[in-house]
Structure formats: C-alpha cells, structure tokens
Structure 1
C-alpha cells in the first residue's frame, strides 16, 4: 500500500458504517494522521468518551461535521437549530483540543434548504447570514471557526441554499477570518466557472477552513446525495483545484469525504487503503 500523505484526512462519511472506535483505529493503522469527525458517531459514545478516544488515537481532528440548517422562519424550530449549533460549537472545540497537535477546531456548516412551501431563495439565504452572525460570538468564545460549505446547486432546494464559493464568502466577509471561513469541496464547486477566482479570493482573506476532495460521478444515482466517487473515477480536475488551493498558502489537512453506496458497502479497511492510493495519484500536494 502507498504511504499515506501526511496531510490526508479520512472523513468519517467515507467509511460510514464504521463506528467511532473502528474509524479511529482503521485510520491510524493505515498510517493516516488525521480524521474528520461527524457528530452522530460522537453522540453514540458521548462527548466525554469521544474526546478520550480521540486523544488515545494520536490522530489530528481536521473538522467536525456538521452544523447549520439555518433557513427556518423565526420561531421554535429556528431557535432549536441555533441552540443545536451552539452545542456543535462546544463539541468542535472539545474534540479539536483532544486531537494531536495541528487539530483544527472547524465546524462545517450546511446552510439548509428551502422551508416547506417556500420558494423565497433570497430570503432563505438572508436567514443563513443572520444565523451565522448570531453564532459568531459563541464561536469566538470557543475558538472555533464556522466553515460555510457551499453545496452543488442540485441540492439548493432541500439541503443548502448556498451554492457557490462566492456566496459563502459574501456571508463570511463581515466577520474575522478566524471565526467564519469556507469549505472548498471539489464535488460541490468543480463546475463553477468562477471557482479559481473565488479560491484565490478565499485564500487572500485567509478563509479556507477546510479542503475536501472526492469525485463527481455520472450518471447521477436516484439518490443524488450518493453521486460522489473516489478521486480519479469521475469528472473533477483535482490538479487545477489543488494547485489553486496550494497557491493560497493553505497548509491544512485535506479531507476525503465520499457519499457512495458501493463504497459504504465495501470493507472499511479496503476503502481506507484505496483512499490512500487515490489521494497519492490524484491530489498534487508536495511532501513537507
């Protein structure tokens, strides 16, 4: 097996059916030094146990997925979402503190889709910006970066009304870069004709909080969420995107995050090994 690049991070979504203990063990055994965590597996064992397990693993934590879902109209559901994000901020801080040196207290935010029976996309985006503004003091107090992740526009109705890196940067801009940044995810932004310009803009402002990679497959499956593939299996030009990221000075971990039924059904250790190989072949990062 190829030696894992020191900046490679295995996002837990790639090995979806592995519990937290197994995900940590599989990642470390493969020589990968970093892991991207999800809140659900953390909740299964409890935050206190999860932080101990992370500390014992010796791995860095590259991010925590996910917060967000901010598009509800004002009322109990919106208040509950804001409160849930405050809990997620605290979890992100605790897990990063438990991780090895270089861990990133980054909370990935997915904006949320249109509320039921609403077609007001502009209003929904405004409510996302308002929610983030409300959470910035909490993020600053915890030392956590809120990382806005634009999702491919095919998800605008049901998952994320923020579809481009430019839109995410516009929301982030009023706040310190240490508090609000963006996620550059190749699956979601590869198609954007402005993507290289917006990566440069994000880098100049110091707002690239996370770089996530996976491929874009066609034909798109009936569940469009599962159209992600292993690097090299689809249509994404990883070399141009990674070179643009590198040119900004971004030196953080690079997460492989794949939602794909066939990959999920494969033995997790095999998936991790394949990820190490595909990363080495497709992601042009210089060794330190």
Structure 2
C-alpha cells in the first residue's frame, strides 16, 4: 500500500532557527502569511524580550506554539558545571511557561572528558532534578536522541531505544521523547522503537528535514525535505500509526539556506512539505 503525502499545511510547524536571519517578529508574520500553523521557538529568539508578551503576539497571529528549544546539556566533569546546567534548564522551563509553550526539547549533552556512561548517568540525574519543576509549571520535557556523530559534546543519548529507556525509567507523563528524522533515520530498530514510545504516550514531538548526499557539514548542511536520502514519508507513517496527531516540525540548520532570501526559502519549505512530507 502506498504511503499518503500530506494534503495541507494544518500540521506544518517551522522552528525559528530554520529561518535564522529573521527576528521572531518577522518570522511570526511570515509564517502566518505563508499558511504555517505552528512555531517552535528557539531560546535565542527571546533574548531581551518580554516573553509573555511574545507568546501573546505569536498566538495573535494565529500560530500555535509547539515547543521551546532547547534545554539539556546536563553532563559536566565538575559539580559546578552540572549545577549551572540544571539552573539553565529550570530557566528554560520558566521561559516555556511564560511563552505558553507546552514542551521543552532536551538536547541532553555529553562531555568528551568522561565516558559516555558517566554522561548518561548525569543526564538522568539532571532530568530528575528539573522534572518536578516541569510538572509544577505544566511543561513537558522531551528527550531528543541525536545521531552518533554528535556523541562527543551534544548528546550521549544516540538511539531512540536509549531515549525510550530513560523515559521509561522515569515513567512520568511529563517526560517523553522527540523523534527527529535527521538523527534516527539510519536506525534498523527505528520502527519498533517509534511504536514503543508511541504506544506508551512518550512520543511528544516529530521533527523533519533531510540528509544531503554528500553532507558537506555535519551540523550546518541539513536539507529541505526531498533533497536527500531520509525516507520521511515512511517514518511519518510509523509515527502516525501510533496515534500521534501533533505537528510536523521543520528544523533545518543550513549556512547555505541562511545566506539566501528567506521568503523564497520558506516557500520552498512549504512546497517540499506538501510534496515529500
């Protein structure tokens, strides 16, 4: 049976980092005019702003705030460093509550000066330290497993199975996982692990883009959907088979696209989403 493409923009969300050259006022206005229905706000876009008023502005343009990016980066070789990370995550939860974002995405972090197992232990301890505040604020946390190439500094959680295991260990309705196709498309256990997190209510977010061939930069060369080798429709079908009805969030880091006209870039994202999402 063929996999159906998306037919409208009702579940399209764009991350502010995707159109990085725009300030948040411009991004909100342009997303709304383009028919985008959701927005995930990156914390840098809120610097120096009245966060509560910014949330009101976003909703006033008809956009749903999907999540705040990003918390995490818990591991550190010193207790002082780990406490700074916990404090920053508590601040991210407060910012999400002020903005009206129901979710904070966690890029969990890693410290190359210590074994991955130790970084994973510190991630668990960091989440344990902030989860009560997330619950009190009514803000969920989503562990985002990252591609193994980022295991040095960005995350010691590198498979969806690892993220699922950690979420299961807490067994909290306030903690789940974010599935980003860029990070997990290669995983031979992907379908099984998507079904696992979806069946227990832990699937909280779904991010899309594409993996270019060849990839010229492991961080800043993501592609628009349809430009690369990720089976986006197949993964979306697995995600939606679990009952997930959330947004499809376009998260693209690209020096190439950031250097181009952002209006044209946003139009390409819309077209690619309808053709390949």
In the superposition, the TM-score normalised over structure 1's length comes to 0.90
Output the CA distance in 1 between the equivalents of 2:259 and 2:75.
33
Displacement of 1:41 in angstroms is 0.7
2:270 match: secondary structure: helix
1:220 match: secondary structure: coil
1:262 alignment counterpart? 256
Output the CA distance in 1 between the equivalents of 2:80 and 2:264.
44
Question: Over residues 26-61 of structure 1, what are the superposed CA-to-partner deviations in whole Å (9 max), with x where a residue is unaligned?
Answer: 100101111110001112423244223223322101
2:219 match: secondary structure: helix
2:186 alignment counterpart? 191
Q: Is the 8 A contact 2:221 2:256 kept in 1?
A: no
- Which of 154, 157, 164 is residue 169 of structure 1 equivalent to? 164
RMSD, aligned CA: 1.6
1:37 maps onto 2:41 in alignment: yes
2:169 match: secondary structure: coil
1:59 maps onto 2:54 in alignment: no
Output the CA distance in 2 between the equivalents of 1:90 and 1:6.
28
Q: Is the 8 A contact 1:4 1:32 kept in 2?
A: no
Q: 1:176 to 1:142 in 2, by over 3 A?
A: farther
- Which of 72, 76, 80 is residue 84 of structure 2 equivalent to? 80
1:101 alignment counterpart? none
Gap runs ≥5 in structure 2: 1-5
Displacement of 1:3 in angstroms is 8.3
1:142 alignment counterpart? 137
- Which of 235, 238, 263 is residue 229 of structure 2 equivalent to? 235
Output the CA distance in 2 between the equivalents of 1:5 and 1:94.
27
1:113 alignment counterpart? 110
Q: Is the 8 A contact 1:110 1:148 kept in 2?
A: yes
In the superposition, the TM-score normalised over structure 2's length comes to 0.94
Output the CA distance in 2 between the equivalents of 1:198 and 1:59.
31
Q: Is the 8 A contact 2:52 2:99 kept in 1?
A: no
Output the CA distance in 2 between the equivalents of 1:19 and 1:186.
26
Question: Over residues 204-260 of structure 1, what are the superposed CA-to-partner deviations in whole Å (9 max), with x where a residue is unaligned?
Answer: 111111000000112222x41013100000000012101000100000111000011
Write out the 4+ residue segments of structure 1 that deviate beyond 3 Å after TM superposition. none
Which has the higher mean CA deviation after the structures are superposed, 144-153 or 65-74? 65-74
Q: Is the 8 A contact 1:3 1:276 kept in 2?
A: no
Alignment of 1:172-251 (within 5 A): 172-221=167-216, 223-251=217-245
Q: Is the 8 A contact 1:177 1:206 kept in 2?
A: no
